[in-house]
Copies of this chain bind each other. A is one copy, B any other.
């Protein structure tokens, strides 16, 4: 079994209303010095069997087109074989 984790984050030049809201809240809750907050998504995908090269490529394609929108987001993909 393989566990694939895909982190998706808004590109830094795109406004992140949720990150901004969190940043405001952190300040009000007394956490000082916060310079930036970004909110992203994380997908944890469990896959039966081993990941071969073809499957990994497919995963990148999916991460870059379905799980993230390349117009506004970047992704990072990591695989833990188990």
A side interface size, CB within 8 A? 34
The oligomer's copy count stands at 2
Are A45 and B34 closer than 8 Å at their CB atoms?
A: yes
A81 at the interface (CB under 8 A from B): no
Are A29 and B58 closer than 8 Å at their CB atoms?
A: yes
Measured between C-beta atoms, what is the minimum distance from A37 to chain B in Å?
5
Contacting residues, chain B, for A40 (C-beta < 8 A): 41-44
List A residues at the B interface (Cβ < 8 Å). Answer: 1, 7, 9, 19, 22, 25-26, 29-49, 55, 58-59, 62, 66-67
Report 28 cross-chain contacts, Cβ distance below 8 Å, ordered by A residue.
Answer: A1-B35, A9-B44, A22-B45, A22-B67, A25-B66, A26-B66, A29-B66, A30-B58, A31-B47, A31-B55, A31-B58, A31-B59, A31-B62, A33-B47, A33-B48, A34-B45, A34-B47, A35-B46, A35-B47, A35-B48, A36-B45, A37-B44, A38-B44, A39-B42, A39-B44, A40-B41, A40-B44, A41-B42
